[in-house]
Amino acid sequence: MKILFDEDVPWKLFRWFPHHDVQSVVGREWGGVKNGALLQLIEQEGFDVFLTGDKNMSDQQRLSGRPFAVLVLSAINWPVIRPHVSKRVAAIESSGPGTVTVVECGEFQKRRR
């Protein structure tokens, strides 16, 4: 499976997918590419899954019906999502083309002083 991590997804997560081709937007030098153009690149390059923390993307772009799955993380802070890695792995493994799934993996809470 060919998986693309958006700029905001912690790279530490890649080690949970040892049998997949995991790449990042930054590694592909697509950083700063607008969402519409990014989605076209993802499609052209044959990715199966796009993992992002951009909760607004589904309001701004047509995501369903594309030839790849989109998974939106509820949080992108590594200490918050680390205990929920199995949820992301399961969501990716069960995702299918044209689907958009929000993966609940906790929420960042600011510390009170």
Q: Where are the domains of the chain?
A: 2-103
Count the alpha carbons within 13 Å of 34 in the hemisphere toward its beta carbon: 4
How far apart (Å, rounded) are the C-alpha atoms in residues 101 and 93? 12
pLDDT of residue 103: 81
16-25, 60-69, 82-91, 100-109: least confidently modelled range: 100-109
Which residues, in sequence order, are CB contacts of 95 under 8 Å at separation 6+? Answer: 48, 49, 69, 71, 101
- Quickly state the pLDDT bin for 105 (edges 50, 70, 90): low
Share the mean pLDDT of the chain. 86
